[in-house]
Every structure is written in C-alpha cells, then in structure tokens.
C-alpha cells in the first residue's frame, strides 16, 4: 500500500509534536522523490523564519539543501546561487514553499 502525501501545513503540524528543544524537523520527502529541509523557530533554535506575533502563524520558513535544482520557486532566496542543491534559503514565504511541495506531489509522512 502506498503512502498518501500530505500538505505542508499538515506536515508542519504533525512534525511539531515530535520536536524537542534543539532538534530539527525531519527532512521533507515528497511523493516524486524530491526532498528538502524545512525549518522554523518552533524548536527553540533561531531560524531564518518568521512567525506572526499576533496570530502565531508561520509566515516564512528556512529551507536548505534540496535534493535537486527542480525548485525554481525559491531560487531568488538562495544564499548561494552557484549551486542550488548546496544552499540555504532563508525567509521563504510559506505560499512559495506550499507551491513547491504541491508541485512535487505533497510530502510523504509516516
């Protein structure tokens, strides 16, 4: 039986429950094989993400080390534009991350 992909929002909620202070979220693995690190400040680490202080909603995320350069949506945010797969992507708006994840078929979560 194949695993069903989930949305970025649901993955953020599910992985939040497993976070301990100082730990990182697991790498997001998409249905088509694409993967990327997606972090925010929920774990006590200062990340290059923003959370709205009034609503508590995540507005931007810190991405890193995509498995391929098939991530044009976020190229403008790359710290190192020479090699997209070896770069971090600070302060990426959630809607762009959601588009990227949706284009790759959603996140597979066990």
- Ramachandran angles phi, psi of 22, nearest 5°: 90, -5
The model's pLDDT over 35-62, given as tens digits with 9 standing for 90+, comes to 999 988 665 555 666 777 788 788 899 9
- Read off the pTM: 0.86
Q: What is the per-residue pLDDT for 42?
A: 61
- What Å distances lie between residue 23 and 18, 92, 98, CA to CA? 9, 21, 23
Q: What is the per-residue pLDDT for 21?
A: 66
The 3 state secondary structure assigned to the chain is: CCCCEECHHHHHHHHHCCCCCCCCCCCEEECCCCEEEEECHHHCCCCCCEECCCCCCEEEEEEECCCCCCCHHHHHHCCCCCCHHHCEEEEEEHHHHHHHHHHCCCEECC
Q: What is the per-residue pLDDT for 3?
A: 81
Q: Which residues of the chain have pLDDT under 50?
A: 1
Structure tokens at 68: 């391929």
Q: What is the per-residue pLDDT for 31?
A: 96
Q: What is the per-residue pLDDT for 58?
A: 83
Tell me the Ramachandran region of residue 97: left when phi exceeds 0, alpha when psi lies from -120 to 50, beta otherwise.
Answer: alpha
């Amino acid at each position: 039986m194949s695993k069903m992909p989930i949305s970025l929002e649901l993955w953020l909620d599910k992985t939040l429950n497993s976070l301990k202070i100082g730990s990182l979220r697991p790498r997001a693995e998409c249905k088509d094989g694409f993967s990327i690190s997606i972090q925010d400040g929920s774990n006590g680490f200062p990340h290059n993400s923003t959370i709205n202080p009034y609503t508590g909603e995540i507005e931007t995320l810190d991405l890193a080390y995509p498995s391929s350069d098939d991530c044009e949506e976020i190229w403008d945010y790359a710290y190192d534009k020479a090699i997209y797969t070896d770069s971090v992507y600070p302060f990426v708006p959630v809607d762009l991350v959601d588009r990227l994840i949706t284009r790759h078929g959603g996140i597979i979560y066990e």
